[in-house]
Amino acid sequence: MASLIEPFAGPHAEAVAGRLLQRFGSLHRALISPDDDEAAEDAEILRQVRAARKLVLEASREEIARQPVLAGDRELHEYLKGLLGSETNEILHAVFLDRSHGYIADERVSAGSHSRISGCTRHLISRAFELGARGMILVHNHPSGCPLPSQCDVDTTLRIRALTAELEVALLDHLVVTQRAVFSFREEGLL
C-alpha cells in the first residue's frame, strides 16, 4: 500500500500506509469511507487519494461516452464496478442512451438499504424523458457480493421493461454489479 500512496505522502508513505491500514483495515475501505473526519491524521492525503479515484472513474466514463454503449462492453462493466461495487447500500443507476446507443448520461436514480431499492420508477421514467433517451441500461449493486438477482429484482425489471416499452424507451439490459462481478439480465435470458 505504501508504494501506491507514495505520490501523495512522499517519504512518509510507509508511516501513512501503516496508520491508514490500522484505521481502516485496507486501502479499499479507506477509499470508500465517508469524508467526515477532516481533523484526522492523514486527512489531506486521504482526500487526495480519493480525488485520484474520482479522476480515474471520470476518465473511464469519458471513454465509454466516446462510442456506442453496449451493455456487454467490458469497459462499461469495469466502470460500473468501480462506481457502484463498493457501495454499502443498494444503488439504482441508469445509463441513458440515444436511438443509436450513443451515450447521453449516466446517473444515480435511487438509493436504498443494504438489500433493497424502492420507489424509483417514476424518477427513472421522468429522467429518461428529460434527457430525450430512447434506450437505457439499468444497473444496481449488491453489497452482499453476490451478483445473482433476487426475485424482487427480476419482477421489478420486468415491470420497468413493460413501462418503458409503452413509452418507446428500450430497456437494453439490467446489470447487477459487485466489486468483482457483473450479472446481465439479457445474457441470462431474463430480459
Q: Which residue has the cell 501523495?
A: 8
66/169 Cα distance (integer angstroms)? 21
Triad 14, 42, 79: Cα angle to 5°: 85
CA 164 to chain centre: 22
pLDDT in tens, 45-95: 888 888 888 999 999 999 999 999 999 999 999 999 999 998 888 999 999
CATH class of 68-184: alpha beta
Contact 136, 94 (CB under 8 A): yes
Contact 149, 188 (CB under 8 A): no
Give all strands (DSSP E) within 76-148, no chain letters: 91-97, 103-111, 135-141
Contact 167, 124 (CB under 8 A): no
Contact 172, 71 (CB under 8 A): yes
pTM: 0.84
Structure confidence at residue 129 (pLDDT): 95
> What are phi and psi for residue 101, nearest 5 degrees?
70, 20
User: Domain locations in the chain?
Assistant: 2-58, 68-184
Structure confidence at residue 72 (pLDDT): 93
Structure confidence at residue 26 (pLDDT): 81
Q: Which residues of the chain have pLDDT under 70?
A: 35-39, 113-119
Structure confidence at residue 24 (pLDDT): 85
